[in-house]
Amino acid sequence: MSHCTDHDGGFQRECIYVTKVYNECKIIECPTYNIPIPPTCPPVVNVVDCALSEIDTEGFVTSSGEISLTVNFVLNVEYDGNGTPQFIEQTAQFRRNGLRLEGVVPAMDVIILPLLTCVGCRPGENGSSIECDVGVYLVVKAVALVQMEVMGRFCPEPPLCEEVSPLGCTEWLALAESGAFWPPFPPQPPRRAPQDPRPRPPVYPKRPLRAD
């Protein structure tokens, strides 16, 4: 960063080298994945728990105005096999090709912000498989490195993390489409009005008090 040139309420002018977002879009889906049970394992009576791990994303510009992306992950499922706890893992993939994004050129990079969760699993036909619904919320950004002059300062300490209640597939889609995950992914303070040139510190919502 360059040396500061002026001050205003804790903010200072800085020249930074950053990743600029030229365009972006989001993907909201809840696909179902089928996990076959190996012949050496007992059939599924009831699904106990499911979780995702090893989430990895890849995106690239295929041509001007068009991108493709892939999200790889692992489904980890615990199920009841006739009274015996069983654990199974299955690699899975979410892929989309030919996504249109205006202004994108091959020299740009693609960044994918993934928010995925296993919203529920159930036994398949005759207990020979497990069907899992995966909530997918992706923010796709076309970016490039640029030099910019900004007014900034360090952010205050964030609040404590809170637990998230379980969601079903219907609730996941409703929550995602309502804009609850935007900006990606925690809510951010409102921006100052365009007509006000004075910088203002960010306003963070207070955490509600809980009764003991």
Q: Would you give the DSSP letter of residue 1? A: -
Q: What is the rounded distance in angstroms from the CA atom of residue 187 to the CA atom of residue 9?
A: 24
**pLDDT per residue as tens digits for the range 167-185:** 678 888 888 878 777 766 6
Q: What is the rounded distance in angstroms from the CA atom of residue 72 to the CA atom of residue 56?
A: 5
Q: What is the rounded distance in angstroms from the CA atom of residue 59 to the CA atom of residue 209?
A: 42
**Domain map of the chain by residue range?**
19-155+162-177
Answer whether residue 4 shows pLDDT above 70: no
Percentage of the chain beyond pLDDT 70 is: 80
The first and second tokens of residue 187, run together, are: 């809510």
pLDDT at residue 81, rounded to an integer: 86
**pLDDT per residue as tens digits for the range 11-59:** 888 899 999 999 999 999 999 999 999 998 999 999 999 999 999 999 9
Buried-exposed string 44-80: b where 16+ CB fall within 10 A, e elsewhere: beebeebebeeeebebebeeeeebbbebebebbbebe
pLDDT at residue 209, rounded to an integer: 42
Average pLDDT over the chain, rounded to an integer: 83
User: Does the model's pTM come out above 0.75?
Assistant: no
